[in-house]
Amino acid sequence: MKKILVGAAFKMNKTVEESIEYAKELDIFIKEHAERLKGIDVFVLPTFLSLYTFSKLLSGSKLKFGAQNCFWADEGAYTGEVSPMHLRKIGCTYVELGHPERLNILKEDEAMINKKIIGCLRNDLKPILCIGEEKEHPGKDEVNDFLKKQIRGYFKDVKAEEVNNIILAYEPVWAIGADKSASVEYIHDSLVFIRDFLDLEYGKNTGKNQLIIYGGSVNPKSAFEILKLDNNNGIFIGRAALNYDYFIKMVNMAIGA
């Protein structure tokens, strides 16, 4: 059975109280539909302020949670940063890294993200690494060249046996916050390239075993077809998932895909 992930990142939205209410409702839904959700992992990435409460609220729950960022060192004089070791100790499973908003607004670069990936892997956290080209291209050569360069830079010093512990979130930058997601054909072709490239770089079956999810204006019209792609492992939703009913609709689509 193909592994499916359905995730929501709250960005800088929802108070702690609002996040708790959301998580409580989602936890109840998952418990009530446990049989239907076999093979599907549902996760939420709230703001840092909510994470410790989530660790208590969701102890033993099948609902996974994580952070939207972390630092690369476990401890030290890094004012205002958050340790991957501390995130793991409170029960986080995932850490989102490399989102275009952090690249563009906070000027994170390839080297910083690479060090954060290494820090997460060192602490048995699963990075959800955002990759994707900035512009849509009618021919895929430019897209493939961009993805190849991005993956090589981000995966520097990552051991071959660790690659499959990284979840790739393919998010074409031009589709984030847009009116529609990339076409199903476009997504399929990009995922084929990513999997083939990982095989070449890290050994046979690396690409086959890689968890890759799609993000970028996922909506009810596109989600079901995206989820049905045989080379896709799920969907990653941003601002639209702030609406609980909307997110549940996406989870139900994953069940039916």
User: Per-10-residue mean pLDDT for the chain, 257 residues long?
Assistant: 94 98 98 96 98 97 98 98 98 97 97 98 98 84 94 97 98 77 90 97 95 88 91 94 96 90
* pLDDT for the residue 178: 66
Q: How many CA atoms are closer than 13 Å to the CA of 139, on its beta-carbon side?
A: 3
What are the domain boundaries of the chain? 4-256
* pLDDT for the residue 257: 72
Strand, helix or coil for residue 168? strand
* pLDDT for the residue 136: 79
Whole-model pTM: value is: 0.95
Q: Which residue has the tokens 């520097």?
A: 156
Angle at 66 between CA 173 and CA 102, to 5 degrees: 30
- CATH annotation of 4-256: 3.20.20.70
* pLDDT for the residue 179: 65
Q: How many CA atoms are closer than 13 Å to the CA of 152, on its beta-carbon side?
A: 9
Active site residues: 99, 171
* pLDDT for the residue 180: 66
- Of 120, 116, 115, 98, nearest to 107 (Cα)? 98
* pLDDT for the residue 135: 84
